[in-house]
Amino acid sequence: MLDLGKIPGLGAALRDATISFKSRDALIEADRHRETGRLTYAELRAAADRFAGALQAHGFEPGDRCAVLMQNQSKWIVGATGALWAGATLVPLDYKLTAPEQAALVAHCKPRVLFTEWPAWEKLALEPQGPFERVLVIVSEAPADARLGRALRYEDLPQRPATYHERAREDIACIVYSSGTGGTPKGCMLTHANYLAQAEVLGRMYPMKEGERYFSVLPTNHAIDFMCGFLIPLMMGATVVHQRTLRPAYLGATMQRYGVTHMALVPTILKTLERKIREKLDDLPKWQRLLIDGLIDVNEFATRREPNHRLSSKLLRPIHDQFGGKLKFMFCGGAFVERDCAEFFNRIGLPVAIGYGLTEAGTVLTVNDLKPFRGDSVGKPVPGVELELRDENDAGVGEVWVRGPTVMRGYLDEPELTREAIVDGWLRTGDLGVLDAAGHLKLVGRAKNMIVTEGGKNVYPEDIEAAFAGLDDCEEYAVFASNYLWPTGKLGAGNEELLIVVRPKPGAGEAQVAALVEALKLRNRRLADYKRLSGHVLWEREFPRTASQKIKREPLARELRARADRNAVRGL
């Protein structure tokens, strides 16, 4: 691991890495069963230098913004590294958003450069081009006959000498959007110091060795993969593996082929893997199943204090071989992890380090150190992070506030939002938690309005509501998570479904209401997958509102709870 305490910025850290580990593999890219690319650290350096030189040839200056919009692949890392060397502030954009949402974020962050790939640009090029007028667009993998207009083809970028620009620790390294779009895009400004502090702590807790391999499955624009699947592996001389097709059939094969040692997942993927393993175990003849169950018990006992990969992978080889046999552990965060699921993986010797974090504070604020494994908490605060519960109730449940070296500078162009979020250096998370005697944090609730889907996406009701504005015969409406309206009794239970409560205009007839529902369906289809509503509730009573006419969500939710149940929900 590089000595990050002495390094001024991310660019310098990555530059040192490309020199220190030059002959080692930095990046491997596969598409289905084919290997489509492999770069050593020295080759990564050359490719990133070329990108930096191309930006500078077009007048790119230190402090300019470079947005990156692509699925996980080597070019993401190459482009981001080159941009950092040219002194850029990176803006990782979510490729899963719709084109209008992506265009809105580009309009908000005003990058000098947008580095993207053809499937994304093909859609963005159909959007109004206002936000892109002053942006240098660089597109990778465009077909030979593609009409690129002003955009440059990545593969044709000329080789120009690059000038490396050092940044200071307090400069902004990245602007990361913590939610979709809609009313107020929230661009978290994170400094080089924020990232280096987080990388140093996580690198100590979960060191990677040269030659170890991280499988980058979560979107690299997501805070977890940006840290665990880009910065940390490269700073430690490990290899990042990308698979262009994230289907279960190819995930296993890729892990086997490349001997993946580390990966980060969100709970949905973890649950799918659990289901697959359980299905295979259930298919075993009874005697084999008994044998495996016995070995699982032995493993659980032997690793009760801390993981022992060598032992677990020998004891439970048939299971570990499905993951390539070298997987040491997995990180999971971004949404609530079911305790049973995490414990299942620990029992089979593939422990899951469960953490809790916010984009506003780097990657993780708390994480389990696996010594011993615990599936019932999100761990203790990482070194350097102070955590307080404020306004605790009788049960010790309070709102989580944190302070530390990873807390962002603020939201881009939103001083008021920043003042609300950061008070006297303390970040208000909006999440409710309780600390146990061992200092482990257990989350018991969420911010009032924010919904975390099972896929780990933050969804804001106000954001989705903006998509339904101006419908005929609609008096008012509000979006909720169904588990918030009618709690199932435990967090993360079942799918977190979104629904819209709609009050038609008084006097609207049956035909108008039917037309309104059809209009809802149409608008719903235009939303990004993870924001789509699964149902609607028709409501006749007037919504409670504040003096400034904002909907009072909690009183409305109470009314819904009191007067209706899940049977009132109709599909969309």
The residues binding another protein (CB under 8 A) are 32, 71, 95-96, 98, 119-120, 244-249, 268-269, 272, 455, 495, 525, 529, 571
Residue closer to another protein (CB basis): 333 or 362 = 333
CA of residue 360 relative to chain centroid, distance: 12
Comparing CB distances to another protein, the nearer of 142 and 173 is 142
Nearer to another protein by Cβ, of 134 and 525: the residue is: 525
> Between residues 95 and 543, which has the closer beta carbon with respect to another protein?
95
Q: How far is the CB of 414 from another protein (least distance, A)?
A: 29
The secondary structure of 137-197 as a DSSP string is EEEES--TT---TTPEEGGG------------TTSEEEEEESS--SS---EEEEEHHHHHH
CB of 135 to another protein, least distance (A): 22
Long-range contacts formed by 415-420: CB under 8 A, 24+ apart = 417/184, 417/186
Do 410 and 189 touch, CB atoms closer than 8 A? yes
Q: Which is nearer to another protein, 308 or 534 (CB)?
A: 534
From the list 280, 261, 258, 278, the residue with the least C-alpha distance to 270 is 278
Rounded to whole angstroms, the Cα distance separating 15 from 13 reads 5
- Distances in whole angstroms, Cα of residue 84 to Cα of each of 168, 388, 409: 12, 35, 19
Phi (first) and psi of residue 212, to 5 degrees = -80, 160
Output the smallest distance, CB 263 to another protein, in A. 16
The least CB distance from residue 33 to another protein, in Å, is 11
Three-class DSSP category at 369: coil
Give the separation between CA 41 and CA 43, rounded to whole angstroms. Answer: 5
Distance of closest approach, residue 530 Cβ to another protein, in angstroms: 8
Judged by beta carbon, residue 271 or residue 553, the one nearer another protein is: 271
HSE at residue 117, side-chain half, CA atoms within 13 A, is 15
Question: At closest approach, how far in Å is the CB of 12 from another protein?
Answer: 34
Nearer to another protein, 44 or 217 (CB): 217
Give least dist CB 99 to another protein, A: 9
- In angstroms, the CA 562 to CA 253 distance is 51
Q: Which residue, 181 or 406, has its beta carbon nearer to another protein?
A: 181
| Structure tokens belonging to residue 361 | 């504070």
CB of 244 to another protein, least distance (A): 7
Sign of CA dihedral 552, 553, 557, 558: negative
Q: Give 93 or 385: the residue with its C-beta nearer to another protein.
A: 93
Q: What are phi and psi of 481, to 5 degrees?
A: -90, 135
Instruction: Find out whether 544 and 556 touch, Cβ atoms under 8 Å.
Output: yes
Rounded to a whole number of angstroms, the minimum distance from the CB of residue 267 to another protein is 11
